[in-house]
Amino acid sequence: MAYVPDWERLADALERVTAAGIDEGAAKQNICDAIVDGKIKIRCRVAKEEGGGSFGERVVGTMRNGSELEIPPHLSPRDFDWSKSRPRKPWRRSGYSQLDPPLWRLDWIELFKANVTLVLCSGGGRHYLGDDRERARATEQWRTAWIKRFTERQRCTQKWINFAEIADWCSKEDQSIVPSKEKRAAAFDTLAADLLAGEFEENGRSLVLHFHAATAIRRMTRDWLKDADDHDYDGHCGQSEYLAHCWIPRGLFDRWLAKHRLHDSSGRFQPRGGEVLPRLKKAQRGRPAEYNWDGVKARLATYVAQHGPIQTSAELLQKCADFARELDTKKKRTPDDSTIRDAIETHALNIAAGGVPGKSR
């Protein structure tokens, strides 16, 4: 079988993105936006150095990582020669004084193929589809607020335990004031190894939820984590953008503690019944927003048919919110948690989702 390179030129990336059903102009702009946002890793070869110079270092003809470049904050398709896969103007070298920085004219740039696939050729690529960027940004803000509320609730109820919290606790296991980076990394390694071994699965289905503002709730599976680790998408072998955002049910956490002979002597993960749970903001007065709950119900049924039943109320809440927003084609409003809970009961959305309870606490 022929070797498939990990990197590709601009024209090859453009061909794959347009094959996903996007017109060429939008596809080019999507690639530019994703490069600016750092979603796609790049590498390059330096053709010529101008400006202040790099203190005698030989750079012409060398291959460099994108991290050594100051990528312009705004890129448009006309900034690139797409056939030659390079910027039309020189880019600054990063880490130098702004008075007279080295400028690199590039022979070519290449994009990390796995990033292009993940960001622009799959479901996650919707973040960059033309006018959808503004809607995606609003959705990301809503998810950020929702995750914050969920996190605050779990600090009281401790029904779900976050991997980053576990790693932080392990880093102070000896009661030291200063956490140990080595112990924290070891805790993440142990959690990753157990996840890859299927320790957090039930009947072959992962019970680990991944909450991140950039994506809808999804389950962290062995294949997904292995892919993140193999390609080092986040630069930390999956620890910063993947494992740190994972949550497991309390029962699995207790089982994990027992397996590794750990004991929560500090009481960090004990429920705090006396604390007041954060309240949601009250909706503004006026006519209540109307949502297409029948459409949401249909989308839930389709999702379940493709991915299996939704098994947690937290996942159900966000799926309902995402689908309701997508179906609100005019204003792209997102219902609050209270509205969603009422709709779950009124329209039996939990039944369409596979029978998950409608309450989230």
pLDDT of 194 strictly over 70: yes
Q: Which of 77, 93, 120 is the last residue of a domain?
A: 120
Question: Are residue 115 and residue 224 in the same domain, yes or no?
Answer: no
Question: Are residue 312 and residue 345 in the same domain, yes or no?
Answer: yes
Question: Are residue 303 and residue 246 in the same domain, yes or no?
Answer: no
Per-residue HEC secondary structure of 220-274 comes to CCHHHHHHHHHHCCCCCCCCCCCHHHEEEEHHHHHHHHHHCCCCCCCCCCCCCCC
What's the pLDDT score for residue 225?
85
What's the pLDDT score for residue 361?
38
Query: Residues 215, 260: contact at Cβ < 8 Å?
Result: no
**Residues spanned by the domain of 13:** 7-120
Please tell me the distance from the alpha carbon of residue 108 to that of residue 85, in angstroms, as a whole number.
5
Within a 10 A sphere around the Cβ of 326, how many other Cβ atoms? 17
What's the pLDDT score for residue 275?
45
For residue 64, being part of any structural domain is answered with yes
Average pLDDT of the residues in 259-278: 72
Which of 96-105, 199-208, 322-331 has the least mean pLDDT?
A: 96-105
Question: Are residue 101 and residue 137 in the same domain, yes or no?
Answer: no
For residue 298, being part of any structural domain is answered with yes
Question: Are residue 220 and residue 334 in the same domain, yes or no?
Answer: no
Question: Are residue 219 and residue 335 in the same domain, yes or no?
Answer: no
Question: Are residue 113 and residue 92 in the same domain, yes or no?
Answer: yes
Alpha-carbon separation of residue 266 from 59, 251, 258 (angstroms) = 54, 18, 16
Question: Are residue 199 and residue 79 in the same domain, yes or no?
Answer: no
Q: Which of 236, 259, 282 is the last residue of a domain?
A: 259
pLDDT of 337 strictly over 60: yes
For residue 241, being part of any structural domain is answered with yes
Q: Which of 216, 244, 259 is the last residue of a domain?
A: 259
pLDDT of 215 strictly over 50: yes
For residue 250, being part of any structural domain is answered with yes
Question: Are residue 81 and residue 54 in the same domain, yes or no?
Answer: yes
Question: Are residue 251 and residue 135 in the same domain, yes or no?
Answer: yes
pLDDT of 38 strictly over 70: yes
Please tell me the distance from the alpha carbon of residue 44 to that of residue 70, in angstroms, as a whole number.
13
Question: Are residue 84 and residue 135 in the same domain, yes or no?
Answer: no
280-312 per-position pLDDT tens digit:
444 454 555 688 888 888 888 888 777 777 777
Identify the band that residue 197 occupies on the pLDDT scale cut at 50, 70 and 90.
very high
For residue 287, being part of any structural domain is answered with no
Please tell me the distance from the alpha carbon of residue 207 to that of residue 312, in angstroms, as a whole number.
9
Question: Are residue 93 and residue 147 in the same domain, yes or no?
Answer: no
For residue 272, being part of any structural domain is answered with no
Please tell me the distance from the alpha carbon of residue 242 to that of residue 229, in angstroms, as a whole number.
9
For residue 273, being part of any structural domain is answered with no
Q: How many domains does one find in the chain?
A: 3
What's the pLDDT score for residue 192?
92
Three-class secondary structure of residue 108 per DSSP: strand
Q: Indicate the helix (H) or strand (E) that contains 177.
A: none
